[in-house]
Structure 1
Amino acid sequence: MARIVGNRPLAPAWSNDRAIDGARAQRASVDGERRRGRGAVSNASGRFEREMRVEADDGWRSLEDLPPFVTEVTEEKARRIITRNDSPDIAFDRSINPYRGCEHGCVYCFARPTHAYMGLSPGLDFESKLFAKPDAATLLERELTAPGYEPKTLALGTNTDPYQPIERRYQITRALLEVLARADHPAAIVTKSALIRRDIDILAPMAAKGLAKVAISLTTMDARLARTMEPRAPTPALRLETIKALAEAGIPVAVMVAPIIPALNDAEIERILDAAKANGASEAGYVMLRLPHELKDLFREWLVLNHPDRYRHVLSLVREMRGGKDYDATWGKRERGEGPYAWMIGRRFETACARLGLNRRSLKLRTDLFVRPARCGEQLSLF
C-alpha cells in the first residue's frame, strides 16, 4: 500500500552512517520479487509532486498482493522531434530521443530525473512506464524541409537508448535512420544495445559517405556487476561483438566508458579499452558518474543493498571530485569532475588511448551532401 509521507517531495536525509542508510534503503525499497530484473530498488514520487508516496505494509500484509512491475508503453504525440541545445561542453547542438524512459534499467542513468516531468518516479517507473513517439520519422522529415534548416550532426541516444528493447516492436529509430539516409544527413548514435546490428544495412552506406558513426557504451567487463547495475542491457561480451560487427561493416565505432564509478568499475578502464580496440573501436571517451536530483538517492539505495562494503569509499570519492557535493552541474565539470582523483582518471584514460592508438583522429561527419526533402505538394525538379 502507498503511504503519504508529506505534502511535498522529501529526499531522504542520508546519513554518513552506513547502518542508518542501510535501514532507510530497506524501508524505501520495493519487494525484490516485484522488481525482479529491474535496476532501481525504490519508486518514490518525483520532485515536482506535492506529496511523496512510498510503499508501506499497513499490517494487513497488503504488499503481498501487489503485482510485479511490468513494462507499459504509452504513445506520445509530439509536436516537434529535434531537440536543440547550446551547452558548450557537448559536441552536438541537436538530438532526437525516440523514447522517454528506458527499459535497460541502468541504475546510474542521469536521465532518470527527467521522468519527474511526466509526474512519474525516476525510480522503477523510469524503467517500466515508457513513452514512444511513433510519429518521429514524419516529424523529422517535416523539420528537415524547413527552408532555413542547416544540417549538422544529429545525435540519437543522448538521453535514453534509441535501441532499448521496445525498439524491436516500434522500429522508430530505424524509421528515423531511413529519413536521414534519404536526405544524406549526418547522424551519430550512442547505444549499449546489440539491436543496432539490425540497421547495419542503413548505417553502412551512410558511413561510406561519411554520414554515420556509432558509440557503444561499455561500463564494465564483469557480467555479474553488469547484471545488477544495468539489468536489461546486453552483456559486455555481446556489446564487444556489436563493436566488431559494426567495424567490419565499415561503420566508425567508438567505445564509451560511461559512467566511471569510483571504487566500483574504475579499475577496469584499461581492460575495457583493450577489448574495444581488439574488436575494432577507433575512438574512445568517458564520463564520470553523475548524480543529479533524485538519482543521488536512487544510487545510494542500490549501493547500500548491492555493495555495502564499498558504500563509504564510493561516495567519498564522488564528493572529492564534486567539490564536496554529490553533484556539480557546472559546464565543463559535470562530465569529468575535478580534483586529484578526477585528474588521475583522466591521465590513465589518455595514456591507455595513446598506447592503443585510439583517438588519433576525431571523425567529423559531412554536411555538404544534404538534400532537403521535398515538401508536401512541392513540385520536384525535372533535372
Structure 2
Amino acid sequence: MQSKKTIKGRGAQKNTPNKFLQHIYEIREDFLEFCRIEDEEPESNKTQYIPIFPKTIVNKVDSPDVGMLYSMNPYQGCEHGCIYCYARNTHEYWGYSAGLDFERRILVKKSAPELLEAKIKHKNWKAQTIVMSGNTDCYQPAEQKFEITRKCLEVFLKYRHPVGIITKNALILRDLDILKELHAHNLVGVNISVTSLSEKTRRTLEPRTASIQKRLKTIRVLSENNIPVNAMLAPIIPGINSHELLPLAKAVADNGASSFAITIVRLNGAIGQIFTDWIKKAMPDRADKVLHLIQDCHGGSINDSRFGLRNRGEGKVAAQIHDMAKLARLRYFKEKEGPKLNKDLHEQYKDGQMKLFK
C-alpha cells in the first residue's frame, strides 16, 4: 500500500520489493492515514550517503548495445531521481529497492581513485577508453561533497589514459581545468544528457537534475574549449518527449555538440512498476496512452531485453522516431563527427611519468 501524497523532489513514488530478498517491507495503509492526519512523513526523505569498499572499480561491459568496453561508477544509486533510469535495477544487488532507495541511499566508493590507479598501472592493462559512469551519474549531487570523480580525472591525466564522461549535471564545469589538460592530449570525450527543452517536463522526469539551460550552457562552454561533446537525447519516451527530437537536436547543435545519440525508453525489471506508478500520478490524463506507445516499440511489452532491439525499439512508432533522428542529423550534424581518443600515450606513463630512457 502507499500514500496518495506526492513525495516532492523524488522521481519514484514508492519502494518496490527487492527480488533478491526473502522478506518484503511494507508501510500499512492505516499508518499512512495516521501520518496524513497528523501531517507527518511516514519515513525520512533525506538522502543518506553510505560508504562501501569494493575490491575493483573498472567493469568490463559485455552488452553489444552499449558503445563502451569499460566503465566505472564512483557512486551507486543516484539522487537525480530520473524515473526511467535503467540503473535502478542494479540497486537491488546491494540489498535495496530500485524505487526510492535508489535515490535516497547513495553508496559512495571513496577508494575509487586508488583502485583506478592500480588497474591502469597493471602490467597487463592495455589502454581502452574507460567511461564514467556506465551506470549512475558521476556528477550527481554527492560529487560536490566527495569529489571522487575529480580525483579519478586526476589519475587519468597523470597516466595519460583516455576517459569518457556521461552526465546531465553542470557540475562537470567545476573540473574544466582538468578536462582542458586531458583534451590537450586528446584523452577525453563528454556526453551530456538532454531529454527535453521544457522545464516542466524536466522537473517531472528528472527532479534533481540541472536545468535545461544549464545543460545547454555546459555543452556550449565545453565546446568553446574544444572539448568534444556528444548530446545524449535519451531516452526518447513516446508521448512525452518524442515530439521534441528535432528541436532538441537543433538546440544542442547550436550550442556546439559534435554529435548526438538516442535510445528509446525500455522499462525492464522493477522500473516497469516504478514508472507505471509514477506516470499514473504525474500524468494521469495520458498515462495509458504513453504506456501503450512504449509497448508498441517493444513487441507489445514495456520490457525488452533483446540485444540489438532493446535500445532501438521496433514497430511504427520506433521507426518514426528513428526517421526524425536521421532528419536531424542531415539538418544539424551533417559535417560533424565524434572524437577518437588517444590510446597510445598511456604505455609511456604507466609509472606515473614519461619514460625518457629505455
> Aligning the two structures, in what range does the TM-score lie when normalised by the shorter sequence?
over 0.9
Q: Which digits, 9 at most, give the CA deviation of each residue in 1:136-181, with x for residues without a partner?
A: 0001111111111010111112110000001011000001100001
Does structure 2 retain, via aligned residues, the 8 Å contact 1:141–1:373?
Answer: no
Which residue is 1:102 aligned to?
78
1:123 equivalenced with 2:99 (yes/no): yes
Instruction: Determine the C-alpha separation between the residues in 2 that align with 1:229 and 1:59.
Output: 29
Matches within 5 A, 1:175-190: 175-190=151-166
Q: Which digits, 9 at most, give the CA deviation of each residue in 1:253-301, with x for residues without a partner?
A: 1111111001111000011111111111111001111211000010001
Does structure 2 retain, via aligned residues, the 8 Å contact 1:246–1:253?
Answer: yes
Q: Report how far residue 30 of structure 1 moved.
A: 6.7
Q: Report how far residue 49 of structure 1 moved.
A: 1.8
Q: Which digits, 9 at most, give the CA deviation of each residue in 1:324-357, with x for residues without a partner?
A: 1111111111111111111111111011111112
Which residue is 2:351 aligned to?
374
1:351 equivalenced with 2:351 (yes/no): no
Which residue is 2:14 aligned to?
42
Does structure 2 retain, via aligned residues, the 8 Å contact 1:208–1:250?
Answer: no
Aligned residue identity for 2:123:
P
Aligned with 1:218 (options 186, 190, 194): 194
Matches within 5 A, 1:62-141: 62-63=34-35, 64=40, 66-141=42-117
Q: Which digits, 9 at most, give the CA deviation of each residue in 1:80-109, with x for residues without a partner?
A: 010002222222111110000000011111
Does structure 1 retain, via aligned residues, the 8 Å contact 2:59–2:71?
Answer: yes
Aligned with 2:298 (options 322, 329, 334): 322
Q: TM-score of the superposition, structure 1-length normalised?
A: 0.88
Aligned residue identity for 2:157:
A
Tell me, which stretches of 5 or more residues in structure 1 are unaligned?
A: 1-26
Q: Report how far residue 58 of structure 1 moved.
A: 2.9
Aligned residue identity for 2:15:
N
Which residue is 1:250 aligned to?
226
Which residue is 2:307 aligned to?
331
1:57 equivalenced with 2:29 (yes/no): yes
Instruction: Determine the C-alpha separation between the residues in 1 that align with 2:332 and 2:80.
Output: 30
Q: Report how far residue 227 of structure 1 moved.
A: 0.9
Q: Report how far residue 237 of structure 1 moved.
A: 0.8
Does structure 2 retain, via aligned residues, the 8 Å contact 1:156–1:187?
Answer: yes
**After TM superposition, what 4+ stretches of structure 1 lie above 4 angstroms from structure 2?**
59-62, 380-383
Does structure 1 retain, via aligned residues, the 8 Å contact 2:83–2:206?
Answer: yes
Aligned with 2:276 (options 284, 288, 300): 300
Instruction: Determine the C-alpha separation between the residues in 2 that align with 1:102 and 1:358.
Output: 35
Aligned residue identity for 2:245:
I
Q: Report how far residue 209 of structure 1 moved.
A: 1.7
Which residue is 2:2 aligned to?
28
Tell me, which stretches of 5 or more residues in structure 2 are unaligned?
A: none
- Closer, same or farther: CA 105–65 of 1 in aligned 2, 3 Å: closer
SS in 2 for 1:108: coil
Aligned residue identity for 2:351:
A
Percent identity, aligned pairs only, is 37
Q: Report how far residue 367 of structure 1 moved.
A: 0.3
Does structure 2 retain, via aligned residues, the 8 Å contact 1:30–1:55?
Answer: no
Q: Report how far residue 117 of structure 1 moved.
A: 1.0
- Closer, same or farther: CA 82–62 of 1 in aligned 2, 3 Å: same
Q: Which digits, 9 at most, give the CA deviation of each residue in 1:99-130, with x for residues without a partner?
A: 00000011111111111111111111100001
Q: Report how far residue 320 of structure 1 moved.
A: 1.1
Instruction: Determine the C-alpha separation between the residues in 2 that align with 1:60 and 1:45.
Output: 18
Instruction: Determine the C-alpha separation between the residues in 2 that align with 1:192 and 1:176.
Output: 18
Instruction: Determine the C-alpha separation between the residues in 1 that align with 2:146 and 2:188.
Output: 22
